[in-house]
């Protein structure tokens, strides 16, 4: 290793082979031997797989089982909604699209299985309404479809294309085929074609995730390497720490491969996080080695440094791993996988660095950087000196005011925490200017809302309610549903069945009997419309209202209101006494359950991480109150951030939820390093003020540099077009900087005040 710019003349002398150096060489040899397996694992798992909120929960998740039952009875939600400028009722281009997607030459996989099924358009459904048995006038039929398949202008329409499992397996090519076909048949540009729906969401996530990896992974790694070089002032040691940490990133791929997990969009920042955390630990370790070299010379430097730094480094990595591992309590698979694999990699990085760096340092040490600091103190340059001493003086002089301001900020922010809410709507996955959001906006403006709210009436096999009365009840339920959610049109079997005659008297009764017979014949004919199903001897009648995918709405409140408004309607019709039951079903209750799970995960993972780390701090500081005081600086960033999000009603997504526990585990790193030097100074007989100065001198630079490395390295992913990744990046970077402020501003101010009395000297040396 070339350290000619860093080594002092005395550093060139000494034994060439020591037990520490031999351990370094052996460890590096083992890592090199494992490199092919790591590369193979990375190749296998690195391809990003698109996931939607439905895929985040396991099949045993009760709301997902209910949704799968709904899909089994009615229809899959795996559809693409497509329209374009000039897509109107009776459009030849629309007919050609249907023919191309369903005809003999329709796209298929290699085994000849079709990609698409169940294609519906405004034109085909309109024809159905105008045919017997309804034979509706065109104007009436168009009115029934307005807001669902036909736009407010009475002309603009769309196609709803259902995907087979084979089509989903090759969804990228299927989406491209649809675009190309429309471009050829309708002679429009790609910008004029608008597509939405779950399959489009998946493909958009695919593209955004791959673009994030391709665009930002390498620049982020380079930034981390350059910042590590800046911090250590040695390119050789920067490369060593960087590549050891990078090897541990590869190890996280290996554990994923062995566990059968694959990368998905939620996990794309995990490798960079592991890399940044590994480098951060390496910076602290090298700092301890430099301290050891300065205090006792080269002989035995590795052993002294390990004695000096093993506990704070172990506790720092351990608490970070605790924060990550606390995510495994989540019911959402991406969050669990993130926490599990990242926690293993972080601990492995610490062990690898301790096995390699001290031995190499003993053979090729870096000159004492504090000698440079003393020389630069007058000008304020270097790692510490005048600046850190001046900053420490500021914190000590204004300690009461600092504590008051920080505690007031926490109290104000804490009042906003109960306002935290979560969301997994489409607009939380992509920025507002993205193509997918623009397409949703266009379709909803020109045709109608896209997010379904399903209400299902179930008539048991023992129910004596005749078909005509079932239809009448369905119409009343649909009317109330439309009023509740603000939908102008509600899709149900009533759209395709004859109206029930109203009025009294013999003539009206006779008409109802005729319509009833006609209705019974029509039920079989509309089976393919998937709004009526026979099950277990009973019958299911479905009503579907739609709301905007971009609408700011609390799904839980809306679903509760729907149930509250519809249950009395069913009760008036006889309810359970006549074998009638009603339920809200479909995708909406599942999305609501996932949102609740996100909030629960945030609470329980953070609470479990707090509890475990608090116990660790109490043991390390050998006091109940000392542990509590030490935790204040670590929960401060989370209270500030999530209080702000609560006050502003900014919804949390799956990326945001993970930041709390991870940031807590990372925040404790600086606290432990600072308190380690503070404690040693107190134990040696220094007063609290002098001990704070000593802690600043020894570790403030390394704490600042490691935080900058982690924050800036991760922050580059805030430019990602996949919103959960972007939010995760900027929120975690902000939390790390706030944690640094807590460790270097709030903690020193507390230590020189009344709260510092909790940290009494344990022994005198």
Span 169-222, pLDDT tens digits: 888 899 999 999 999 888 888 889 999 998 898 888 888 888 888 899 999 999
Q: Any bridge partners for residue 541, and if so which?
A: 457, 532
The pLDDT value given to residue 579 = 92
Tell me the two tokens of residue 391.
């900053």
* Res 25 pLDDT > 90: yes
The stretch 358-382 carries a mean pLDDT of 60
Closest CA to 656 of 712, 725, 554, 707: 725
The stretch 24-30 carries a mean pLDDT of 94
The pLDDT value given to residue 278 = 92
Angle of helix 198-232 relative to helix 235-259, nearest 10 degrees, comes to 150
pLDDT tens-digit profile of 29-38? 999 999 999 9
Closest CA to 188 of 180, 198, 196: 180
The pLDDT value given to residue 414 = 92
As a whole number of angstroms, the longest Cα–Cα distance in the chain is 116
d(CA 57, CA 747): 40
Q: How confident is the model at residue 82 (pLDDT cuts 50, 70, 90)?
A: very high
pLDDT tens-digit profile of 677-693? 898 888 888 899 999 99
The pLDDT value given to residue 590 = 85
The pLDDT value given to residue 415 = 93
134 or 583, higher pLDDT? 583
- 384 within 8 A of 701, measured Cβ to Cβ: yes
The pLDDT value given to residue 310 = 85
Domain boundaries along the sequence of the chain:
9-45+204-368+387-421+593-758, 76-196, 450-592
Strands 193-196 and 580-585: unpaired
H-only helix segments in 447-505? 467-485
Kindly write down the DSSP assignment for every residue of 281-320, as one continuous string.
HHHHHHHHHHHHHHHH-STTHHHHHHHHHHHHHHHHHHHH
Q: How confident is the model at residue 293 (pLDDT cuts 50, 70, 90)?
A: confident
The pLDDT value given to residue 6 = 43
Q: How far is C-alpha 50 from the geometric centre of its chain's CA atoms?
A: 13
- 672 within 8 A of 633, measured Cβ to Cβ: no
The pLDDT value given to residue 507 = 54
- 282 within 8 A of 305, measured Cβ to Cβ: no
d(CA 193, CA 189): 7
The stretch 298-302 carries a mean pLDDT of 84
Tell me the two tokens of residue 329.
């309590």
Strands 116-121 and 159-163: antiparallel
- 349 within 8 A of 240, measured Cβ to Cβ: no
Q: How confident is the model at residue 10 (pLDDT cuts 50, 70, 90)?
A: very low
Closest CA to 723 of 487, 468, 463, 433: 433
What proportions of the chain, in percent to the nearest 5, are helix, strand and coil? 70, 10, 25
The pLDDT value given to residue 372 = 45
**Which CATH code fits 9-45+204-368+387-421+593-758?**
1.20.1640.10
pLDDT tens-digit profile of 613-663? 888 888 888 888 888 898 899 899 999 999 999 998 888 888 888 888 888
Q: How confident is the model at residue 87 (pLDDT cuts 50, 70, 90)?
A: very high
159 or 498, higher pLDDT? 159
**Which CATH code fits 450-592?**
3.30.70.1440
Q: Do domains 9-45+204-368+387-421+593-758 and 450-592 have the same CATH topology?
A: no
The pLDDT value given to residue 144 = 86
The pLDDT value given to residue 100 = 92
SS3 category, 353: helix
Residues above pLDDT 70, as percent of the chain:
90
pLDDT tens-digit profile of 486-535? 887 888 877 776 665 555 555 555 555 555 555 555 555 555 567 888 88
* Res 569 pLDDT > 90: yes
Determine which of 37-51, 435-449, 531-545, 567-581 has the lowest per-residue pLDDT on average.
Answer: 37-51
The stretch 443-447 carries a mean pLDDT of 94
The pLDDT value given to residue 5 = 42
Task: Dihedral sign for Cα 719, 724, 728, 730, please.
Answer: positive
Q: Give the per-residue SS3 of 316-342.
A: HHHHHHHHHHHHHHCCCHHHHHHHHHH
* Res 3 pLDDT > 70: no
Residues above pLDDT 90, as percent of the chain:
34
Mean pLDDT comparison of 135-144, 236-245, 523-532, highest-scoring range: 236-245
Q: How much is the mean pLDDT over the chain?
A: 84
What is the number of helices (H) and of strands (E) in the chain?
27, 9
Closest CA to 199 of 102, 112, 82, 296: 82
* Res 47 pLDDT > 70: yes
């Amino acid at each position: 290793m070339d350290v000619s710019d860093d080594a002092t003349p005395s550093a060139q002398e000494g034994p060439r082979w020591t037990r520490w150096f031999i351990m370094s060489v052996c460890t590096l040899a083992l890592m090199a031997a494992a490199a092919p397996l790591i590369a193979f694992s990375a190749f296998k798992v690195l391809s990003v797989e698109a996931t939607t909120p439905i895929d985040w929960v396991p099949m045993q998740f009760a709301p997902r089982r209910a949704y799968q039952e709904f899909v089994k009875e009615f229809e899959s939600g795996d559809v693409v909604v497509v329209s374009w400028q000039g897509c109107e009722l009776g459009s030849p281009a629309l007919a050609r699209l249907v023919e191309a997607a369903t005809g003999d030459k329709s796209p298929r996989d290699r085994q000849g299985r079709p990609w698409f099924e169940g294609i519906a358009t405004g034109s085909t459904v309109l024809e159905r309404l105008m045919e017997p048995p309804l034979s509706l006038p065109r104007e009436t039929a168009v009115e029934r479809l307005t807001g669902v398949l036909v736009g407010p202008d009475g002309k603009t329409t769309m196609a709803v294309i259902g995907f087979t499992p084979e089509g989903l397996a090759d969804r990228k090519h299927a989406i491209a085929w649809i675009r190309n076909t429309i471009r050829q048949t309708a002679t429009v540009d790609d910008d004029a074609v608008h597509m939405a729906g779950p399959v489009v969401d998946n493909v958009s996530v695919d593209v955004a995730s791959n673009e994030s990896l391709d665009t930002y992974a390498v620049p982020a790694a380079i930034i981390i390497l350059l910042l590590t070089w800046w911090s250590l002032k040695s390119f050789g040691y920067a490369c060593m720490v960087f590549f050891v940490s990078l090897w541990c990133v590869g190890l996280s791929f290996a554990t994923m491969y062995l566990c059968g997990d694959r990368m998905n969009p939620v996990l794309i920042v995990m490798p960079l996080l592991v890399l940044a955390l590994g480098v951060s630990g390496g910076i602290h370790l090298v700092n301890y080695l430099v301290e050891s070299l300065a205090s006792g010379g080269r002989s035995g430097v590795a052993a002294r440094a390990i004695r000096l730094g093993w506990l704070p480094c172990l506790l720092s990595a351990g608490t970070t791993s605790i924060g990550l591992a606390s995510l495994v309590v989540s019911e959402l698979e991406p969050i669990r996988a993130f926490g599990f694999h990242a926690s293993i990699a972080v601990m492995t990085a610490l062990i690898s660095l301790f096995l390699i760096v001290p031995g190499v340092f003993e053979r090729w040490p870096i000159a004492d950087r504090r000698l440079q600091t003393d020389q630069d103190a007058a000008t304020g340059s270097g790692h510490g000196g005048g600046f850190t001493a001046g900053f420490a003086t500021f914190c000590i002089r204004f300690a009461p005011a600092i504590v008051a301001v920080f505690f007031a900020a926490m109290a104000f922010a804490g009042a906003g925490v109960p306002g935290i809410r979560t969301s997994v709507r489409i607009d939380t996955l992509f920025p507002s200017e993205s193509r997918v959001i623009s397409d949703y906006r266009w379709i909803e403006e020109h045709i109608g809302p896209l997010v379904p709210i399903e209400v299902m009436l179930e008539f048991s096999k023992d129910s004596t309610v005749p078909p005509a009365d079932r239809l009448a009840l369905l119409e009343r339920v649909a009317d109330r549903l439309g009023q509740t959610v603000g939908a102008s049109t509600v899709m149900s079997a009533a759209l395709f069945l004859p109206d029930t005659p109203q009025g009294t008297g013999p003539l009206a009764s006779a008409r109802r009997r005729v319509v009833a017979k006609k209705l019974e014949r029509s039920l079989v004919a509309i089976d393919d419309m998937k709004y009526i199903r026979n099950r277990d001897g009973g019958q299911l009648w479905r009503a579907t209202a739609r709301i905007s995918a971009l609408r700011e709405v609390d799904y839980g409140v809306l679903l509760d209101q729907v149930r509250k408004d519809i249950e009395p309607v069913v009760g008036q019709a006889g309810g359970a006494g006549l074998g009638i039951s009603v339920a809200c079903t479909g995708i909406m209750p599942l999305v609501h359950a996932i949102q609740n799970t996100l909030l629960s995960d945030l609470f329980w993972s953070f609470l479990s991480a707090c509890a475990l780390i608090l116990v660790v701090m109490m043991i390390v500081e050998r006091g109940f109150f000392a542990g509590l005081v030490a935790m204040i600086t670590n929960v401060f960033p989370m209270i500030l951030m999530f209080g702000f999000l609560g006050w502003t009603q900014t919804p949390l997504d799956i990326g945001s939820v993970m930041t709390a526990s991870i940031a807590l585990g990372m925040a404790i790193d600086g606290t432990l390093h600072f308190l380690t030097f503070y404690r040693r100074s107190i134990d040696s007989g220094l007063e609290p003020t002098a001990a704070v100065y000593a802690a600043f001198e020894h570790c403030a630079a390394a704490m600042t540099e490691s935080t900058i490395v982690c924050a800036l390295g991760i922050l580059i992913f805030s430019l990602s077009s996949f919103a959960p990744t972007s939010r995760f990046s900027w929120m975690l970077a902000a939390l790390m900087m706030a944690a640094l402020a807590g460790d270097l501003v709030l903690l020193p101010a507390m230590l020189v005040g009344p709260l510092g009395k909790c940290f009494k000297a344990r022994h005198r040396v």
